[in-house]
Amino acid sequence: MTHKSRCLKCEKYGTMARKRIKDLPGFERPREKLLERGPWALSDAELLAILLRTGVEGKSALDLAKAILEKAGPDLPRWGVEELGAIPGVGEAKACQIVAAFELARRFSQRERPRIREPKDVLPYIQHIADKKQEYFLCLTLNGAGEVIQTRVVTVGLLDSSQVHPREVFADAISDRAAAVILAHNHPSGLLEPTPQDLEVTRQLAEAGRILGIQVLDHIIVSPKGFLSLKAEGYL
């Protein structure tokens, strides 16, 4: 092998080793995904990658985020700068960013959570999907006091009972130790009348909730024209 061919080979493999998020397709990049689908659609690693902003030689920010999560596991919110900074590639600056983010989240989580008393109280959590061109199915988990714990995207696409499976809806609700859930989805058509598929999904999930001891309080349909509560309309 000539010196020139060796250099070309080194350059080739060196380029492969420098992984960058911007080399990913747009729909796979965490920041673009957040802008398009909202933070609820991102994995823990993708959210952490946005905080990190950049990776290191041979690792993208997403690769580094996955390494942090693998190392720290569920204890990550309690790790300090020293522990995080010891992970290869993290360093003091990135460790400070992570610690600051979790501390801010902790402070806000300790404040009084909004309580859902009637269907219109749900709107601030779901209004962002009203004008989406695809159907977004969301699940709000609530504690025993009716306070919102978390809002998550369950599916994106056509709404039917085969796509919105109870295990996808209630897995996070169980993890949150939720007492109840509120379901919501948008109608890109703008119509607020529930479809047969809407009613079937609601029936299926309400029955699963009864078995699990997690009540389905309501199912809200939202569009640019307003919203409709299946509970208020007598469907639930």
**Which are the contacts of 45, defined by CB distance < 8 A and separation ≥ 6?**
62, 65, 66, 69
Q: Mark which of 109, 138, 171 sits at the end of a domain.
A: 109
Same domain for 156 and 104: no
Q: What is the predicted pLDDT for the residue at 12? A: 42
In whole numbers, what is the pLDDT of the chain averaged over residues?
Answer: 84
Same domain for 215 and 124: yes
Q: Mark which of 82, 109, 136 sits at the end of a domain.
A: 109
Q: Mark which of 85, 109, 133 sits at the end of a domain.
A: 109
Q: What is the predicted pLDDT for the residue at 81? A: 93
Q: What is the predicted pLDDT for the residue at 158? A: 62
For residues 20-44, average pLDDT: 73
Residue 27 has pLDDT above 50, yes or no: no
Same domain for 176 and 136: yes
Listed in sequence order, the DSSP H helices in 73-164 are 81-85, 91-109, 123-126
Range of the domain at 176: 119-229
- Give per-residue pLDDT as tens, 152-210: 988 887 654 446 888 889 999 998 999 999 999 999 988 899 999 999 999 999 999 99
pTM across the whole model:
0.56
Q: What is the C-alpha to C-alpha distance for residues 217 and 161, in angstroms, rounded to an integer?
A: 18
The answer to whether the CB of 139 falls within 8 A of the CB of 169 is yes
- Give per-residue pLDDT as tens, 82-130: 999 999 999 899 999 999 999 888 887 766 677 899 999 999 999 989 9
Kindly compute the dihedral angle of the four CA atoms of residues 151, 155, 159, 165, in this order, to the nearest 10 degrees.
Answer: -90
Encoded amino acid at 74, one letter: P
Residue 154, phi then psi, degrees to nearest 5: -95, -50
Q: How many domains does the chain have?
A: 2
